[in-house]
Chains A and B, each alone.
Chain A
Amino acid sequence: MSGVTDERDSIDGDAAQRASGNSLATDARISFRRWLVKTSRNPYVTFTSLVQPVIFFVLMAEVLGAIAGGALAQSLSSDVTYVTYLTPAIIIQSALAAAAVSGIGLVDDMETGMFDKTLLSPMNRSAMFLGKALSEVVRITAQTGIIVGLGYLLLVLKPGATAAQYLQTGLPGILGIFVVTVIFGGVFMAYSNIVALLTRDREATVMIANLLTFPLLFISSAFLPLDVLPGWIQTVAVVNPITYGVDGIRALMLGQDVMTVFEVTAFGGLWNTVVPAIAVLVGFNILLGGAAVALLKRASRAEVQ
């Protein structure tokens, strides 16, 4: 605990009459720790949101990998293995699976009354949601790390394959991948919380999360280069956040500009993908995050609803 909060705690002598206030950081940490403990209590949830992408990873690499060579050679270069190409998609899939259930915790808290209870505590409300979001960021980051490692293993263990093309940008690239993944996660965390706040229903939140995961992946640049896919998919992919998450990570892994939804040449090399990808994802965050915050404010406002 920081010195500031300790001081504030001790200043408040009449704790019996009025509870003392915490700093914003302390409040965020209280909430963060609570949600982290809850996540660790439910290893099943983390496990499934990791297992599904991993199964997908192996199957897609085997099945699509057998035929994807030509498409990859056409849009990128013949050195790029399909595993390397697929890794960003799987990272995004696992981040999506984790982020899209973010609203469930909120609905649970509303159903059990924990939501009202926290609202009635002197805790800072923004800090309380920030803490929850941070615990999900930790989970997404951990899953991302595992998948990056797994992709490497798949390449190394496969006879005849080479890991030479895997992660061209080294350690800074990994950090970059974390950044893109977390920003991407924010979009769907916001989305899931919007659904949760609108429906106030656990089942609806779970179902919409599941419903979303698969189709969105296929109408993006996740599994194959967009230019070999039908025209309507190319069109939808432009407004699909997954395209930007996948392209951003893929550019960092391959060390080159991979974005095809629009052409940017101002930054040079891989930055021509990473910069616009992050910009678009931040835009989605502002849009959906703003809506989620507005709904959250409405839900926690002490007015007759």
Chain B
Amino acid sequence: MTLQQARHQSETEADSSERHTAIGAEDVHVTYDDGTAAVRGVSLDVKEGEFFGFLGPNGAGKTTTIKTLVTLLYPTQGAVRINGYDTKADPQAVRESIGYMAQETSIDFELTPRENLRVACRMYGVPREERADRIEELLDLVDLRDVADKRAETFSGGMQKRLDTATVLVHRPPVVFLDEPTTGLDPEARLRVWNYFEKINDQGTTVFLTTQYLEEANELCDRLAILQEGQITHTGTPAALKSAVGTETLTLALDDPSQENRRRARNIVRQRSALDTTAIERTADGLRIEADNARSATSDLFTELSAAGITITDFDIQSPTLDDVFLTLAGEKGEGKDSADSEPTSVQEVVR
């Protein structure tokens, strides 16, 4: 995306353009010494208080981008401004105003949560009289007070990640960067850390999160960008992205899969305006429905079906996966070959 496009985007979003830019990147390129162009012209304009998602497959350049935003790398070309400070000209000011959680869990495993937080408080110069309160507050935030004096090496991956979350917040940074924070966590642990991120965001913190999971981006983010091979190929709200990508699929198995019964069920589905049905197909034992909002409208549909005396024995809802997203976008990209500088992308490269 070019800078002009980025500007255009922010102008069209009247609400967010009134706020200050927390994370600004202008045509950032990062090329490693061996010639690998990991980031190839990324522009970003994340507003204060936004929850911004950065989505992409492995090797797309997400980590390189986030490291460039947090001053661990400098852009080979282009510029990054965080909270108004240029990362290259004033890295210290940037560092003091951000929290960064790396992909690997960066805590001192030999220390307890309380000690980890104490060290972090000291490192960021949190005034001594505020330290104790701040530490307790953060222990509560991530539910680690009960184990506050046990060594972190004995914790589960989820608990360690929660402690990591707390340690990046000791100086109350206005902007927090999270690099694939839930990769490797079990579903329950993932849900828990999501809660903390939402809490932080509710308190006004700008959150920049990279993820491989579409579901995660959808759940948490106000806006997201998709990164492929070092370039942003799509920016928008999760809803806009999903509709661009495809629909959800609801598969129903009926108690009585007779012609007549399936036709009745199909008519009910068609008549329902709440379900944005794009396609209905009769299967051997029921129906296969494609609808943008299948997940949210399903329970209403079930009520109606049962009111009509149709019993459902089994159902399944499938959302487009990230693979679907990338395949769809890669297809679009391939078709739009004539559009200036975008290079054709083969499916194999994307799937890799």
Contact = CB atoms under 8 A, between A and B. Distances in A.
Interface string B82-123: 000000000111011110101111111111000100011011
Nearest to B64: A304
B115 A113 contact: no
A121 B126 CA distance: 12
B72 A18 contact: no
B125 interface: yes
Interface of B: 30-33, 70-74, 76, 91-93, 95-98, 100, 102-111, 115, 119-120, 122-128, 130, 151, 167-168, 171-174
Interface stretch (A9-17, A88-96, A219-227): A9-17
A1 B121 CA distance: 14
Complex A-B, nearest 7 residue pairs according to Cβ-Cβ distance, in ascending order: A113-B106, A20-B125, A19-B171, A19-B124, A113-B102, A121-B123, A9-B127
Contacts of B91: 302
Nearest to A301: B74
A304 B126 CA distance: 31
B72 A120 contact: yes
A1 B124 CA distance: 15
A167 B264 CA distance: 103
A38 interface: yes
Given A114-B108, A302-B72, A302-B73, A122 B33 contact: no
B100 A120 contact: yes
Nearest to A119: B72
10 contacts: A15-B171, A17-B97, A21-B96, A34-B108, A37-B111, A111-B104, A113-B104, A120-B98, A302-B91, A305-B33
A176 to B, nearest CB: 34
Contacts of B73: 302-304
Contacts of A118: 123
A119 B74 CA distance: 14
Nearest to A118: B123
B33 A304 contact: yes
B151 A117 contact: no
A38 B111 contact: yes
B92 A122 contact: yes
B211 to A, nearest CB: 18
B72 A42 contact: no
A8 B128 CA distance: 11
A303 B96 contact: no
B122 A304 contact: no
Interface string A23-62: 0001100100010011001100000000000000000000
Contacts of B92: 122
A101 to B, nearest CB: 15
Nearest to B168: A117
A117 B110 contact: no
Contacts of A1: 128
Interface of A: 1, 6, 8-10, 12, 15-22, 26-27, 30, 34, 37-38, 41-42, 111-114, 116-123, 302-305
A21 B111 contact: no
Contacts of A19: 96-97, 124-126, 171, 173
Given A15-B130, A18-B96, A19-B171, A112 B109 contact: yes
A38 B173 CA distance: 28
Contacts of B173: 19
A120 B71 contact: yes
B42 to A, nearest CB: 14
Contact of A304 (B31, B111, B167, B174): B31
A249 B70 CA distance: 48
Given A18-B96, A18-B97, A122-B96, A116 B125 contact: no
Contacts of A117: 100, 102, 106, 167-168
Contacts of B31: 304
Nearest to B75: A304
A121 B106 contact: no
Q: Which of B97, B107, B125 counts the most chain A CB atoms within 10 A?
A: B125
A20 B74 contact: no
A1 B119 CA distance: 15
Contact of B110 (A9, A12, A42): A42
Contacts of A119: 72
A120 B107 CA distance: 14
A21 to B, nearest CB: 6
Contacts of B124: 19-20, 121-122
Contacts of A38: 108, 110-111
A112 B105 contact: yes
Given A16-B172, A302-B72, A9 B106 contact: no
Nearest to A18: B96
Nearest to A6: B128
Contact of B106 (A8, A116, A123): A116
